[in-house]
Amino acid sequence: MSTQLLSPIQLGLYQLPNRVIMAPLTRMRAPNGIPTPLMATYYAQRASAGLIISEATPISPQGVGYPSTPGIYTTQQVLAWQQTTDAVHAQNGHIFLQLWHVGRISHPDFHNGALPVAPSAIAPEGNAITPSGLKPFVTPRALAIDELPEIVKDYRRATKNALAAGFDGIEIHSANGYLLDQFLRNGSNQRTDSYGGSFENRARLLFEVTQAVIEIAGAQRVGIRLSPSGTFNDMTDSDPEGMFVYLLNQLSQLNLAYLHIVDALEGDVRHGANIVNLEVIRQAYSGKLIVCGGYDQARAEQTIAQGKADGVAFGQLYIANPDLVERFKLNAPLNDADTSTFYGGEAKGYTDYPSLKG
Does residue number 173 form part of the binding site for ligand FMN (CB under 6 A)? yes
256-277 as b/e: b if 16+ CB within 10 A: bbbbbbbbbbeebeeeebeebe
Check binding of 105 to ligand FMN (CB under 6 A): no
Identity of the residue, 242 or 267, whose beta carbon is nearer to ligand FMN in the bound complex: 267
Closer of 8 and 294 to ligand FMN (Cβ): 294
Question: Among residues 43, 66, 73, 178, which one is catalytic?
Answer: 178
Does residue 323 contact residue 357 with C-beta atoms inside 8 Å?
Answer: yes
Residue 101 as a binder of ligand FMN (CB under 6 A): the answer is no
- In the window 331-350, what residues touch ligand FMN (CB under 6 A)? 342
- Residue of the chain from 211, 316, 335, 351 that contacts ligand FMN (CB under 6 A): 316
Cα angle vertex 286, ends 205, 13, to 5°?
A: 80
Q: State yes or no: is 318 an active-site residue.
A: no
Which helix (DSSP H) or strand (DSSP E) does residue 258 occupy? strand 258-262
Task: Kindly tell me which residue out of 16, 20, 23, 165 binds ligand FMN, with binding defined by CB under 6 A.
Answer: 23
Tell me which of 45, 83, 176, 297 binds ligand FMN, using CB under 6 A.
Answer: 176
x-or-dash string of contact with ligand FMN, 47-66, rule CB under 6 A: --------xx----------
- Contact between 297 and 328 under an 8 Å Cβ cutoff? The reply is yes
Phi, psi of 301 (to 5 degrees): -60, -45
Q: Are the C-beta atoms of residues 315 and 292 closer than 8 Å to each other?
A: yes
Distances (CA, A) of 328 to 6, 11, 297, 321, 336: 8, 21, 7, 10, 15
Q: Using the rule CB under 6 A, is 99 a contact of ligand FMN?
A: no
Provide the binding-site residues for ligand FMN, judged by CB under 6 A: 23-26, 55-56, 98, 173, 175-176, 225, 262, 292-295, 314-317, 342
Q: Hey, which residues are catalytic here?
A: 178
